[in-house]
Amino acid sequence: MIWIAFAGKELLRKKVVLVAIALTLVYLTLFCYGLTRMAQEGNGDAGMAQMGGLIGGMILMSLGLLFAGMIVTFLVLFATMGTISGEVENGLMLAVLARPIPRWKLYLGKYLGTGFWLVVYSTVLFFAILLPVHFIAHMPLYSGAMLKAWLLFIWMPLLLLALTMLGSVYLPMLGNGVACAMLYGMSMFTGFAETLFNASGGNEALSSSSLILSLVMPINAVFSRLTYEIINGPDLPLLPDMANAMGPFSPTNVPSPAFIVYTVVYLVVLLALGCRAFKRKEIA
């Protein structure tokens, strides 16, 4: 509990969370307004096919979750890119290390404390996107699919947090933020491009690049699995043309469950490397 309270005070002190909450409220307001207007226009269209409306709801939900995931990602980057290096530079780390706490406990405590608040924030944001889509756009949702999607949604910031904390041991605050942001952007770009190219036969070089980036930065691959779990929840018989109509959110380029297991190993390895690097880091 002490690490959770400490991490909460740190996040409030940096004021990143307050800015993120304010912008999130603006985003949710605009999202619900747009969703309501689109639903009203869809109801007025007598010729709108039921399956077409359902695909539209899936795309809206995927787009909403994608942007929500980006908000959480930038919150992680700006709040934690200087977790170690920033405190070393301003001298705060010397005061913390003066206490009889092993460095690996301090490192894991920072991770667990910050991770707790990220899970809380991500959970609120996840259901703030899903529930309006369900009640306004009448997108069917099932408890099993929602549970899997929620677990994957909160898993993404925890993975990114482990990566940014490891980077903050080696890199200065700004360099770490830029490196993680670029990795995230490249992973998203290649993942979406691969999905679009697969609709027209695929591209081997692009698939290889996407696989390598997914192994280094698995956030976008986890997001693809998340959308697949929600879309497959209703167990709809999506034809290839319908799936391709969903563009980059098409559930045709989905990582296997083995890849999700890989991300668990990925997280454990990052935390172990971070503890080891922080223990050996010279701080004076």
Contact by Cβ (8 Å): 274, 166: yes
pLDDT for 271 equals 94
Would you say the C-alpha torsion 81, 166, 149, 116 has a positive or negative sign?
A: negative
In angstroms, the CA 190 to CA 84 distance is 30
Q: Which pLDDT belongs to residue 51?
A: 54
pTM: 0.85
Q: What does the longest C-alpha to C-alpha distance in the chain come to?
A: 72
* Burial grade of 209 (CB within 10 A; 0-12, 13-18, 19 or more): middle
Q: For the chain, list residues with pLDDT below 70.
A: 41-56, 198-202, 232-252, 284
pLDDT digits (tens, 9 = 90+) for 117-141: 999 999 999 999 888 888 887 777 7
pLDDT for the residue 100: 82
C-alpha distance across the termini of the chain, in Å: 29
Contacts of 103 (CB under 8 A, 6+ apart): 97, 275, 278, 279
Tokens of 98: 């003066």
Residues 6+ apart with CB under 8 A from 156: 69, 72, 73, 122, 219, 222, 223
Q: Tell me the C-alpha distance between 181 and 192, whole Å.
A: 17
Q: For residue 83, what pLDDT is reported? A: 80
Q: Where are the alpha helices (DSSP H) in 137-237?
A: 143-170, 173-198, 204-216, 219-232
**Residue spans of alpha helices (H) in 199-234:** 204-216, 219-232
Q: 3-state DSSP: the chain helix, strand, coil percent, rounded to 5?
A: 80, 0, 20
CA separation, residue 116 to residues 37, 93, 153, 166 (Å): 36, 22, 14, 18
pLDDT for residue 240: 60
- The predicted pLDDT at position 48 comes to 47
